Amino acid sequence: MANVRYGMVIDLRKCIGCHTCSVACKSENSVPLGVWRSWVKQIEKGRYPNVRKSFLPLLCNNCENPICVTVCPVKASYRREDGIVLVDPHRCIGCRYCMAVCPYDARYVNPLVNIVEKCYWCDHLVDRGLKPACVQACPTQARIFGDINDHNAEIGRLLATSPVQVIKPEMGTNPKVFYIEADLDAMKTERKG
């Protein structure tokens, strides 16, 4: 099991935008009302009859070089050997600095306990040899989870043989959620001005 590095591939050729992943995550991790560890962004493009609805399932990228871990003043955020970035719920002081610096808006304050939480790729399931809840629940198997160093597993095969991309590679965080056929317009920062 040496050199395990977990990662996720989201195959958007298969995603139907059903939000099952979002709901499975909420249920598995008891995520309170109003906040999400995993959610699906939707965009609509074009004019009839040339239209397309695109989806971008979003979650923590569990980056290789996570800025949230760099700036956490109490080392409550830390990165495991296998790459999952965790938040120690007993140590976090709720200063929100990690939320402010995360390029993916992946973190939130749990309003019930006033500490910062995020997607941990269901570390409690992964440690028992299971897949994260969103991966188990996805009806079209668009989410593939596993050890990206394992070349014989499905994730290794997909990463090697498909053109994949990550969100905001320019941030230098080295994210580990890879998308196949993600739409450029869905990956943009939202225009709000």
Partner 1 sequence: MDVIVFHNVFPQETFGMLIAIYFYLTGLSAGSFVLSTLAYVFGMEKFKPIGKIGVILAALFLIMAPLALLIHVGQPFRSWHLFVYLNITSPITWGSFLLTLYPINAVIYGWYMFRGNARLTRLFGIIGIPLAIFVHGYTGFILALGKARALWNTALMPFLFLVSAMVSGIALMILISLIKDKFFSKERVINRELIFSLGNLLAGMILIDLFLVMSDVLVLLVSHAEAQEVAHLLLKGKFSIFFIGVENVLGKIIPALLLLIPRLRSLSTVTIAAMLVVIGIFIMRYVVVVAGEFLHLV
DSSP class per residue in the chain: -TT--EEEEEETTT-----HHHHHHHHHHTPPTT--SEEEEEEEEEETTEEEEEEEEEE----SS-HHHHH-TTS-EEE-TTS-EEE-TTT-----HHHHH-TT---EEETTTTEEE-----HHHHTTT---HHHHH-TT--EEEEETT-TTSHHHHHHHHS-EE-S-GGG-----EEEES--HHHHSPPP--
CB of 160 to partner 1, least distance (A): 26
CB of 44 to partner 1, least distance (A): 4
Is residue 133 within the footprint of partner 1 (CB under 8 A)? no
Is residue 124 within the footprint of partner 1 (CB under 8 A)? no
- As a whole number of angstroms, the distance between CA 15 and CA 42 comes to 11
Among 16, 74, 130, 160, binds partner 1 (CB under 8 A): 74
Is residue 75 within the footprint of partner 1 (CB under 8 A)? yes
Length of the chain: 193
Point out which span in 3-11, 114-122, 126-134, 137-145 binds partner 1 (CB under 8 A).
Answer: 114-122
Among 15, 31, 58, 159, binds partner 1 (CB under 8 A): 58
CB of 101 to partner 1, least distance (A): 4
CB of 158 to partner 1, least distance (A): 22
Is residue 92 within the footprint of partner 1 (CB under 8 A)? yes
Is residue 12 within the footprint of partner 1 (CB under 8 A)? no
Residue numbers at the binding site for partner 1 (CB under 8 A): 35-36, 39-47, 56, 58, 67, 70-76, 91-97, 99-105, 108-109, 114-116, 167, 170-172, 185-193
